[in-house]
Structure formats: structure tokens, C-alpha cells
Chains A and B, each alone.
Chain A
């Protein structure tokens, strides 16, 4: 069964450094998402992406965050200057459509900012 894959599974970085989290969505999906889950808290929406542009973003997704689909398969989340509070599990998800289509999630990247 096709699945969403994320790399790396763990990333440790120092405060102020840039990180790029990578995702390969399911191949025939058209909508892509990033969510995050801070330890012990709810899964939170960050951003949705369709047709090479951001469809919607949350208040969390400020100027330090950006997303890109650099080629036909990868979908990336960049954090320009990481802060301690960016430490979380970051999940990529994809869906065929926005209506009647469930989101399929990757296994996540655990980001630790020291």
C-alpha cells in the first residue's frame, strides 16, 4: 500500500540553525500538509499546499517557516532559524482531494532544538 515517507526520522539542531524536513507524499495525491505535535499536546495544523502554492496556514506558520515542492515528488518544510519551542514531532500528510478524502500521514520527524 502506498505511504507517505518522511526523512529524517530524528533531527537534532542548535537554536538559530536552519532545518529542512523532507516528505514524499503518495504519488497520485494533490494536496499536501504539515502538522506538528509538541510532546503531550494536540496535533496542530501548520500549512496546506495545493497547485504549488499555500492554500491555508495557521498562526504558527510565521515567516520562519516555508514550504516547497522542489520537484514532482518531494515536499519540504524549512524552518529558517530554529527556536527551542520548535521542538516537536512534525508530520507530513497528503490527500487526493480536500473533500471526502482522508489525510494519510507519514511517521513523522522528531525535531529537537538544543
Chain B
């Protein structure tokens, strides 16, 4: 079965610093989704990547999917306290809409 591994598990950065979160899949990805979760709340959709080499940006967040479609990264530029939360990568296991998730990366941004 497919597994997703995120790194790091947690991250504390100073406001204004850049950071990167990685997501590695044990199998080729049909689709890779990034979500943000605040503690005790739902998952907020950030971005979806489907093609090898694809890169998408929204405000200060950029997500990339490697050419082999087995690894994705999420990069935040000039982090702000509002970026704090748990970032989850999710993979579509076979174009069925069913997602499996990584364990999450907890981000704290210190003012």
C-alpha cells in the first residue's frame, strides 16, 4: 500500500524566514494535495499538483511536484504568524478521489 512521509515533523521559525516542508511517496503519485489544519479544526485546501515538474503558487506559498511524481515540497516565503498550523500532504491513490495522508508537519512562527 502507498505511504506518505513528511519531513520535518515539526518546525519553529522566526517570522520573516523562509521554510520548506517535504512529502515523499512510496509510489508514483496520481495527484498530490496540500492542506493546512489548525488544531482541532478541519482541513483547508491549499493546492493540488498532478503533473511531473508542476509548480503552483498562492500568495507566499509555493508547491512543487518532482518530475518522477514521488516527492513534493511546500515552500513558504517570509513566514508570518498566520502561517502557523499543521500542513498535511495527501495523495490520490488511483484517481478515485480517495486520499491517503502524511502524518503532518506542525509549523510554529515566532513573532
Q: Hey, which bits of chain A sit against chain B, CB under 8 A?
A: 4, 31, 33, 35, 41-45, 48, 55-56, 89, 91, 93, 95, 97-108, 110
Closest to A46 in B: B98
> How many Å lie between the Cα of A56 and that of B93 in the bound state?
12
> How many Å lie between the Cα of A105 and that of B42 in the bound state?
6
> How many Å lie between the Cα of A20 and that of B103 in the bound state?
27
Q: Hey, which bits of chain B sit against chain A, CB under 8 A?
A: 31, 33, 35, 40-45, 48, 50, 88, 90, 95-104
Please indicate the chain A residues that have their CB under 8 angstroms from the CB of B103 in the complex.
Answer: 41-42
Partner of A107, one of B42, B45, B102: B42
> How many Å lie between the Cα of A45 and that of B33 in the bound state?
15
* Known contacts A43-B90, A93-B43, A100-B48; 12 further A-B pairs (Cβ under 8 A): A33-B97, A42-B101, A45-B100, A48-B96, A48-B98, A95-B97, A99-B95, A99-B97, A101-B97, A103-B90, A104-B45, A105-B43
Partner of A103, one of B45, B100, B102, B104: B45
Partner of B88, one of A31, A33, A43: A43
**How distant is B42 from chain A, measured CB to nearest CB, in Å?**
4
Please determine whether A91 and B98 come into contact, CB atoms closer than 8 angstroms: no
Please indicate the chain B residues that have their CB under 8 angstroms from the CB of A100 in the complex.
Answer: 31, 48, 50
